[in-house]
Amino acid sequence: MFISERKAPLSAAAVRKILARAGKLGGIPFPVHPHQLRHATGYMLASQGIDARTLQRYLGHKKATYAASYVAQVEAEGSAAIDCSVLT
């Protein structure tokens, strides 16, 4: 849950709007949406050496194969070269 400046919960629509605007302002060349935060976290943690089981628990995946995909991509491409197109 995200909290507004007024200490009230933000709606899902408000979060989507904030992230879309931030993406545009940041010059990201594709639409930005909330689920990308989850993907970005997975790739960031995998690039820091977090194993698939820990990622699975942290991200709340039922199957380890989903979390393992973050680790596999980081291992295949190197932590500095993550394919951001998978986030769209």
For residue 27, is it left (φ>0), alpha (ψ between -120 and 50) or beta? Answer: left
Q: Kindly compute the dihedral angle of the four CA atoms of residues 55, 60, 62, 67, in this order, to the nearest 10 degrees.
A: -30
Residue whose pair of structure tokens reads 């977090």 in the numeric block: 50
Tens digits of residue pLDDT in 24-46: 999 999 989 888 888 888 888 98
pLDDT band at 88 (very low <50, low <70, confident <90, very high): very low
pTM value is: 0.66
Residues 6 or more apart whose CB falls under 8 angstroms from that of 53 comprise 64, 67
Query: Residue 21: what pLDDT?
Result: 94
Mean pLDDT in residue range 8-30: 92
pLDDT digits 0-9 by tens, 39-83: 888 888 988 888 899 999 999 988 888 888 888 888 887 645 555
Domain spans in the chain, listed from the N-terminal domain onward: 33-87
Rounded to whole angstroms, how far apart are CA atoms 17 and 23?
10
